[in-house]
Structure 1
Amino acid sequence: RSSAQALLRFLGIVFWAIAAAHALGGVLVILMFKNYRYLFQESYLSLPGWLAIAAALILLPTGILAVSISIKSSRNKQGTFMYLLLLLLCIEMSSAVLAHVYSNRAASQLESAMGYLIYQQNGSCSPDPGSRAVDVMQRKLQCCGVRNYTDWLKARAASWHLTACVPTSCCKEKYSHCRGHLKHLEHLYQEGCLKKLGDQLWFVMLYVFWCCTVLSILELLAGVSNVILMRHQPFQDFRFL
């Protein structure tokens, strides 16, 4: 009984810490799909982030109940605690599955969406980066093209009269006089945007997935501890919820 109380008190405090980490993961997922919404067609891809935030909010009263039960238990509090754990477990499992499925689905969309953006901009090199979605993306991620700068050359292959160059958003910030010409490749970002954004997407989704997995295990431990304490309660203390 004393071990179950100590474990429940510890888990209650851990729940508060995990609530902050979980909320952070949810915000990262939502911001990822909001900042690059022109690359992702389905708005529901950010659903794992919203579920993570919902779980973080429920974790706060759950942690308070866990600490309270470890100090002085009652059937009402223990029953409410079990209901919250069950609700959290459902949310966590749903969020983990969706994070895994949606990360693969979003990753499969990235290459075609980026390629479409680049082939749309098959005109002359832009002297004023930042006015187009593709320029914003390349500046923010410090990348050039889908896989590398040659994607811009392929996009302009049909326009034989255009000078071989890339947008100035492909230029590294320290080269202020760079105009996207290929004579100085060292002035350009060498890495493509697909890998950089794909890595960011994979990181935030994996973060949410493992937060959900770890939290589900801790919730099961909290449930077992609560059941042990309920078994030590006198039979007369049962109350209908």
Structure 2
Amino acid sequence: SWSRAFAKVTLIVLGFFLWGAAVALLFGGSFVILTYQIYRIFIHNPFFIVPGWLAITAAFLLFPSGMLAMYEPVRHSRPHRGTLMYLLLVLLCLEASSAVMTQVYLSNTSDQLKTNMPPFFLGCNRTAPVHCGREAVDTIHKQLKCCGISNYTDWMRVPHNHLRTRPALVPESCCKETFLDCRGNMSQPEKLYKEGCLKKLEERLHFVKQYMVWCCAAVAFLEILAALCNGVLMKEQPFQDFRLLESATF
């Protein structure tokens, strides 16, 4: 019938889309984990990476699911169709969990950043870097191209800058890469990154959250379509055991 033929073609095409979706989820999950690894000194929530691992698990399951979606309409194998339906159900659960957990954990991260960042920045002393998370501060400056919490003037509140009679200094990681002679002198603001790191980090986390939620939603939509097409094919192919009951011998 036309519905069966349409379901076959659609399922094969969806198989390729599922492979593409696997790559997108793999990227999103890796981005979540990498973001936590880089900025975990400011994010005190070990469950932050759970949505990332769920997305990576779903990505690896999508590859065999896509293969079954392309292979099953050609072979007309009921066991393969049942396996595909089971995998699609598991994937829907994984992606729903990943999307919800991403929304919950990343929405609560903003308050953590506002609480956790000041001790590392305002307690940082260029002459005694051992007393602060200097490596973490330098990393966030270089990664996000920012300086300070709200902006570069935050370094004016650092204790050792209050005691200096010369121009206040900021960490050299605040210097723009194009100025090789920059030594963190606040009297030369044109050589420094002016935007604050709190806003930049919140924007990155917002991007991660939006990407994961919309990616999971798009992949779930593809999986629902695949499940519907697979269901049409399963419905139009009755069990072989039941066909025996329709025989004239009975």
TM-score, normalised on structure 1?
0.90
Corresponding residue number in structure 2 for 1:218: 222
Q: Could you report, residue by residue, the CA deviation over 1:196-219 in whole angstroms, capped at 9, with x for unpaired residues?
A: 122112112221111110111111
What is the alpha-carbon distance in structure 2 between the residues aligned to residue 226 and residue 102 of structure 1?
A: 35
Corresponding residue number in structure 2 for 1:208: 212
Corresponding residue number in structure 2 for 1:90: 93
* TM-aligned CA deviation for residue 125 of structure 1: 8.8
Kept in 2: contact 1:103–1:202 (CA 8 A): yes
Verify: 1:139 aligned to 2:142, yes or no. yes
Aligned pair in 2 of structure 1 residues 192, 131: CA closer, same or farther (>3 Å)? closer
CA RMSD of aligned residues (A): 2.0
TM-score, normalised on structure 2?
0.87
Q: Which runs of 5+ in 1 are unaligned?
A: none
Spell out the pairing of 1:72-221 with structure 2 (5 A cutoff). 72-122=75-125, 124=127, 132-156=135-159, 160-162=162-164, 163=166, 164-221=168-225
Deviating more after overlay: 167-176 vs 219-228: 167-176
* TM-aligned CA deviation for residue 159 of structure 1: 6.4
Corresponding residue number in structure 1 for 2:57: 54
Kept in 1: contact 2:156–2:162 (CA 8 A): no
Kept in 2: contact 1:125–1:167 (CA 8 A): no
Verify: 1:42 aligned to 2:45, yes or no. yes
* TM-aligned CA deviation for residue 28 of structure 1: 0.8
* TM-aligned CA deviation for residue 135 of structure 1: 1.6
Kept in 1: contact 2:14–2:66 (CA 8 A): yes
What is the alpha-carbon distance in structure 1 between the residues aligned to residue 134 and residue 157 of structure 2?
A: 22
What is the alpha-carbon distance in structure 1 between the residues aligned to residue 27 and residue 162 of structure 2?
A: 49
Corresponding residue number in structure 1 for 2:9: 6
User: SS state of the match for residue 162, structure 2?
Assistant: coil
What is the alpha-carbon distance in structure 1 between the residues aligned to residue 124 and residue 223 of structure 2?
A: 51
Aligned pair in 2 of structure 1 residues 160, 17: CA closer, same or farther (>3 Å)? closer
Larger Rg: 2
Corresponding residue number in structure 2 for 1:233: 237
What is the alpha-carbon distance in structure 2 between the residues aligned to residue 176 and residue 125 of structure 1?
A: 24
What is the alpha-carbon distance in structure 2 between the residues aligned to residue 222 and residue 160 of structure 1?
A: 65
What is the alpha-carbon distance in structure 2 between the residues aligned to residue 77 and residue 148 of structure 1?
A: 58
Aligned pair in 2 of structure 1 residues 21, 189: CA closer, same or farther (>3 Å)? same
User: SS state of the match for residue 24, structure 1?
Assistant: helix
* TM-aligned CA deviation for residue 140 of structure 1: 2.2
* TM-aligned CA deviation for residue 9 of structure 1: 0.6
Corresponding residue number in structure 1 for 2:248: none
User: SS state of the match for residue 177, structure 1?
Assistant: coil
